[in-house]
Amino acid sequence: MSNNGADLTFGYISCFVAILLFGSNFVPLKKFDTGDGMFLQWVLCAAIWLVALVVNLILHCPKFWPFAMLGGCIWATGNIAVVPIIKTIGLGLGILIWGSFNALTGWASSRFGWFGLDAEEVSNPLLNYIGAGLSVVSAFIFLFIKSEIPNNTCSVDTTPLITEPVINKTQDPCSWVDKLSTVHHRIVGCSLAVISGVLYGSTFVPIIYIKDHSKRNDSIYAGASQYDLDYVFAHFSGIFLTSTVYFLAYCIAMKNSPKLYPEAVLPGFLSGVLWAIATCCWFIANHSLSAVISFPIITAVSSFIHHCYSFFLIQGLQNYLLMILAFCIILTGALCTAFSKI
């Protein structure tokens, strides 16, 4: 097998691992109260940073580019809005909106060269467009699949990939979002979901920017590494730094009485480790395939894996048929995107 063929194979394997982990990394939190999500996010990000430290040591500490931290800051900022999104418009609609904007932003920024990036070329642009489009279409199908789950206006969820069965109930009073009118719920939730989706989709932009400009002798990034994994430590450091700042601000807002949930520490830490490994695999996939290929595949298929955890809560022939249809569309889109590189 040629080096290019081996590189593509390794890239698709990395996509597969990332999909499995992204689709199930919050399962350890299923039975634990996660409260308002602020403490959990900090625990997750601490675990993420420790994984990055290990990876950095394995790679013999490649050069640290502070600009790569911006991607981590962008991701942590998008993730901080997840709890209000879940409480205002629900998990299903939330995933639909931020997942679609995540996939489109990540794909389009590389495909068309947004934000100062070099536009990525593919062997078959039409297949690539079809694959990206189907990844978004599949998300809309999930909106019509209903699970038998009781509603609770004070229930909260803290992560973009937890399904309704694992939403934890809390004894705390309803937060500010529960005081909004129905119309305002919709407006606030949808607006935050769009913003989060765009931020999620932009998280790799600083790293790709550095790589693109490393080829230019007049750039301050001239000579920077072309291997995406070399930027993991900086990227994850940005995540941990930003989440720490937000958590400190939260402590100040709570008058030094933050809501802590000790029982969620270990499962939260495990979830963070799984998420970090998945993201490392995504970095490798970006290097081997480019973001134009990896974004539509990973975002769409991991979303399907996420919804599969509620499969046994689905009732009715129509819902089962919709799940099968969604799977077929996702598989078709993933194959179109994959073959557009060949």
194-247 pLDDT, tens digit each: 898 889 889 999 999 999 899 888 889 998 999 999 999 999 999 999 999 999
Asked if 229 and 133 touch (Cβ cutoff 8 Å), the reply is no
What is the pLDDT averaged over residues 114-126? Answer: 80
Q: Give 147's strand partners.
A: 314
Where do the DSSP E strands lie in the chain?
none
Q: Residue 37 has what pLDDT? A: 72
pTM: 0.79
Confidence of residue 157 (pLDDT cuts 50, 70, 90): very low
CA distances from 227 to 91, 207, 211, 233, 295 (A): 35, 10, 8, 13, 17
Tell which wins on pLDDT, 46 or 101: 46
The neighbour count for residue 241, using CB atoms within 10 Å, is: 16
Query: Please, what is the Cα angle at 65 between 61 and 69, to 5 degrees?
Result: 105
3-class secondary-structure state, position 316 = coil
- Residue 147: phi and psi, rounded to 5, are -110, 155
Asked if 319 and 145 touch (Cβ cutoff 8 Å), the reply is yes
Q: Write down the residue that tokens 């959990």 correspond to.
A: 40
Q: Write down the residue that tokens 């694992």 correspond to.
A: 166
Q: Residue 262 has what pLDDT? A: 83
Q: Residue 232 has what pLDDT? A: 95
Listed range (78-87, 93-102, 122-131, 313-322) with the worst mean pLDDT:
313-322
Q: Give 314's strand partners.
A: 147
Estimate the crossing angle of helix 91-111 against helix 125-142, to 10 degrees. 170
CA distances from 118 to 65, 112, 136, 199 (A): 19, 8, 24, 19
Query: Please, what is the Cα angle at 180 between 175 and 183, to 5 degrees?
Result: 145
Q: Residue 36 has what pLDDT? A: 67
Rounded Cα distance, 296 and 332, in Å: 11
Check residue 73 and give left, alpha or beta (phi > 0: left; psi -120 to 50: alpha).
Answer: alpha
What is the pLDDT averaged over residues 90-112? Answer: 75
Beta-carbon contacts of residue 139 (< 8 Å; ≥ 6 apart): 95, 96, 99, 100, 103, 300, 303
Q: Residue 137 has what pLDDT? A: 77
- 100, with CB counted inside 10 A (0-12, 13-18, 19+), is buried
- Domain ranges for the chain: 3-339
Q: Residue 50 has what pLDDT? A: 96
Asked if 149 and 28 touch (Cβ cutoff 8 Å), the reply is no
Asked if 153 and 174 touch (Cβ cutoff 8 Å), the reply is yes
Q: Residue 76 has what pLDDT? A: 92
Rounded Cα distance, 336 and 342, in Å: 10
- Read off the amino acid at residue 94: G
Asked if 10 and 3 touch (Cβ cutoff 8 Å), the reply is no
Estimate the crossing angle of helix 91-111 against helix 82-89, to 10 degrees. 130
Q: Which of 145, 141, 175 lies closest to 158, judged by CA?
A: 175
242-272: pLDDT as tens digits: 999 999 999 999 888 888 878 888 988 998 9
Q: Does position 322 have pLDDT exceeding 80, yes or no?
A: no
Confidence of residue 326 (pLDDT cuts 50, 70, 90): confident
Q: Residue 328 has what pLDDT? A: 81
Q: Residue 221 has what pLDDT? A: 92
What is the pLDDT averaged over residues 102-108? Answer: 79
Q: Residue 29 has what pLDDT? A: 74
Listed range (105-119, 238-252, 254-268, 304-318) with the worst mean pLDDT:
304-318
Average pLDDT value for the chain: 79
Q: Residue 190 has what pLDDT? A: 81
331-340: pLDDT as tens digits: 787 778 767 7
Confidence of residue 311 (pLDDT cuts 50, 70, 90): low
Confidence of residue 164 (pLDDT cuts 50, 70, 90): very low
Rounded Cα distance, 321 and 327, in Å: 10
Listed range (54-68, 115-129, 171-185, 319-333) with the worst mean pLDDT:
171-185
pLDDT-above-90 percentage for the chain: 27
Mean pLDDT: which of 57-61, 128-132, 285-289 is highest? 57-61
Listed range (3-17, 132-146, 203-217, 258-272) with the worst mean pLDDT:
132-146
pLDDT-above-70 percentage for the chain: 77
Question: Which pair of tokens denotes residue 53?
Answer: 């430290």
